[in-house]
Amino acid sequence: MNDPNRPVTGYPAAGAPPPNPNGYGGAAHQQPPIGTAYPYAAPPPGSAVYYQNNPYYQPNHYDAQRNTLLRRVIGMAIACMVIAGTFVFILWLIFRPRIPEFRVDSLSVSNLNLTNSLISGKWDLRFTVRNPNKKMTLYYDDVAAAVFYDDVSLSDTTVPPFFQEKRAETARQASFATAGAYVNNRAFDQMNKERSQKGAIGFNVRIVARVRFRSGAWRARRRFIRVYCKDLSVGVGSNNSSGTLLGGARQCRVGL
């Protein structure tokens, strides 16, 4: 028998608010209307505003000092690079260094023999080096020279170091020799063809030198210069084993 004074369980009481469609309870769990304060604490604002308004936050002065020091170091490094570049540019405007000039005065060959893709012979080279600088002296520390046919190396040698005053010209010589050196068939046939048709063979001379530029106490860094003297025709016919340069002195191409 049901007791009228016993509370009813299992069903909502009469007059109770309808359940929340999201699965929560009644009015205590319903979402407050718009404009009503939320019962829980609001989430903290963004970090910058939070740290700025938080009386308990103490900024890290070590990080600030480190960032300031880093910016100063970078600024000083950039300033030093700009000053150094400006200084070098001013020196260049004052001295205006120019690379030396090379000229082949004579080239002779003797005891030339071409047999079965083998070559033997002796070459004597005389050349002149000119220093075009008005304010700088030149020091040639290492000078290497080689004689070629087309791009095939036939012989190489070295030239003793030397020194040049301002606007000076210096004559130098180099000797090359080879005995029974192998050359490829294309180069061998081409040399014989030139020798029989033109009575001359065109050789190339290459020179590599390490040069120091100096003006008083100021010294520039060492530079490698490359000299290329092309198509030096030496008159040596099929019946001759010796010949000299045809067409007189030849100016060479010089680059760094």
Does residue 233 carry a pLDDT above 80? Answer: yes
Diameter of the chain measured on Cα atoms: 147
Does residue 27 carry a pLDDT above 50? Answer: no
Model confidence pLDDT, tens digit, residues 69-121:
787 788 888 888 887 776 555 655 555 688 999 999 999 999 999 999 999 99
| 100 in Cβ contact with 223 (< 8 Å) | no
Q: What is the DSSP letter of 245?
A: B
Most confident among 32-41, 80-89, 180-189, 208-217 (mean pLDDT) = 180-189
CB burial of residue 248 (10 Å; 0-12, 13-18, 19+):
exposed
- Bin 204: left if φ > 0, else alpha if -120 < ψ < 50, else beta: beta
Model confidence pLDDT, tens digit, residues 171-197:
999 999 999 999 999 999 999 999 999
Q: In degrees, to the nearest 5, what angle opens at C-alpha 255 toward C-alphas 254 and 256?
A: 140
Calpha distance 79→82 (Å, rounded): 5
31-40, 199-208, 232-241: the lowest-pLDDT one: 31-40
Calpha distance 174→178 (Å, rounded): 14
Q: In degrees, to the nearest 5, what angle opens at C-alpha 206 toward C-alphas 172 and 123?
A: 60
Does residue 128 carry a pLDDT above 60? Answer: yes
Two tokens, residue 209 = 């030198």
- Give percent of the chain above pLDDT 90: 54
* Cα 149 from chain centroid (whole Å): 31
Calpha distance 151→230 (Å, rounded): 11
pLDDT at 25: 47
Calpha distance 102→107 (Å, rounded): 14
Per-residue pLDDT averaged across 154-178, rounded?
A: 96
Instruction: Looking at the chain, list the stretches that DSSP marks H as alpha helix, in order from N- to C-terminal side.
Output: 47-53, 61-95, 185-198
State the residue for tokens 């004074």.
5
Half-sphere exposure of 107 (CA within 13 A, CB side): 30
Q: What is the DSSP letter of 192?
A: H
pLDDT at 68: 79
pLDDT at 28: 47
